[in-house]
Amino acid sequence: MQTIILLRHGYPTSWDLKDKTRATATHLRQDPALAAIGTRQAKASAAHIAAAGGAEVVWSSPFRACLETADLVAADCKVEVQADWKLGEVLLSQVLGSPFSPTSAMDPDCEDRRRGAGKPSHPESDQTIQDRVARTVLALKSHKPFAQRIVIVSHAIILQKLCQAMIGRSFMVDWHPGALTTLQRAKPLDRQWRLHGEPASFAHLGDDDRPEPADQIEVKYHPLDSRG
């Protein structure tokens, strides 16, 4: 039996930053750290995963909120975090706003944790995103040595597409910060995984760790952009 746990990063500081001006450090706007509540969500998720059997491998998006979430999971499971650009946030153009320049905008303090993650393409189209999600699924199927329990920490859009690709059907679910989905397959030769339990569950979070951002950012696509 192989188990894959898809985990969304905790609540980041950028969701509470009201003044996103040019004076704000670039990495604080485009590569934010976890807020205090996000850290609590990540700790609760890490404890839940460790109690359910832990993990042999922890893969993470190279964005800071994901790395900080993955660090807590890896610490409880006593493994190392592997950063991978295939799990990174959707990369938009400078016309559309963040995150648009991951190599220059990211916090340099986290640079050493991104070594070996690969090089991202920029900007991205829907096809580009689908291609890297498909490569992630292939990597999971061919991962050696075979790992029985893998945790993947990423972003809502990527997790949604990854889950759909792994189970072979489309469905929509709201990925709360710190929410997780568990997938399983009985044999390595099985083509698809099956949902185990409730998708995007956040039942492991406390009542005080479940707020949504007060002001969601509305993204309007530029007509010349590849995703327009």
- Whether residue 63 contacts residue 88, with contact meaning beta carbons closer than 8 Å, is answered with yes
Superfamily of structural domain 2-209: Phosphoglycerate mutase-like (3.40.50.1240)
Taking the C-alpha atoms of residue 112 and residue 87, their distance in angstroms, rounded to an integer, is: 17
Give the C-alpha distances (Å, rounded to integers) separating 136 from 61, 72, 108: 12, 22, 26
Read out DSSP for 29-46? HHS--B-HHHHHHHHHHH
Q: Which residue has the tokens 């997790």?
A: 159
Taking the C-alpha atoms of residue 228 and residue 95, their distance in angstroms, rounded to an integer, is: 11
Q: What is the pLDDT along the chain (228 residues), one digit of tens a residue?
A: 889 999 999 998 877 765 455 566 766 777 888 988 999 999 999 999 999 999 999 999 998 999 999 999 999 999 999 999 899 988 875 555 555 555 656 777 777 888 788 877 777 788 888 999 999 998 888 777 788 899 999 999 999 999 999 999 888 888 999 999 999 998 777 778 999 999 999 999 987 776 655 444 444 444 544 443
